[in-house]
């Protein structure tokens, strides 16, 4: 599977987000956790990669099955609703 620069940027962004599980990246881009790790290693500076791995390793929120909260996700009451990638008005 070949990814363009925009997709790679989005995968890196999702991988950095604490509450985005690897399963979401797999669902959206077809990359397994190990493939995401390899992509991050290739695309990032070594020090940034090490910092990311240290943060992500063992983090329950990065794996759907390890999450303690059951349904949905935290959402701030001031956060706008997003539908079909466009921000809708309140």
Q: What is the pLDDT of residues 4-18, one digit of tens each?
A: 899 999 999 999 888
Please give the span between the terminal C-alpha atoms of the chain, in angstroms, as a whole number.
Answer: 39
In a domain, 79, yes or no: no
pLDDT at 36 over 70: yes
Contact between residue 55 and residue 16 where contact means Cβ atoms under 8 Å apart: no
Give tens-digit pLDDT for 52-90. 998 888 777 676 665 555 555 555 555 555 555 555 555
In a domain, 82, yes or no: no
Q: Burial of 68 by CB count in 10 Å (0-12 exposed, 13-18 middle, 19+ buried)?
A: exposed
Stretch 27-42: mean pLDDT: 93
Contact between residue 64 and residue 21 where contact means Cβ atoms under 8 Å apart: yes
Q: Domains in the chain: how many in total?
A: 1
DSSP H stretches of helix in the chain: 5-16, 22-29, 33-43, 46-56
pTM: 0.66
In a domain, 73, yes or no: no
């Amino acid at each position: 599977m070949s990814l363009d620069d925009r997709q790679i940027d989005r995968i890196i962004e999702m991988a950095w987000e604490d509450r985005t599980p690897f399963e979401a990246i797999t669902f959206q881009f077809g990359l397994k956790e190990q493939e995401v790790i390899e992509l991050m290693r290739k695309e990032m500076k070594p020090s940034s990669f090490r910092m990311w791995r240290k943060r992500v390793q063992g983090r329950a929120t990065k794996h759907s099955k390890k999450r303690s909260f059951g349904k949905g996700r935290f959402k701030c009451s001031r956060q706008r609703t997003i539908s079909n990638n466009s921000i809708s008005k309140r």
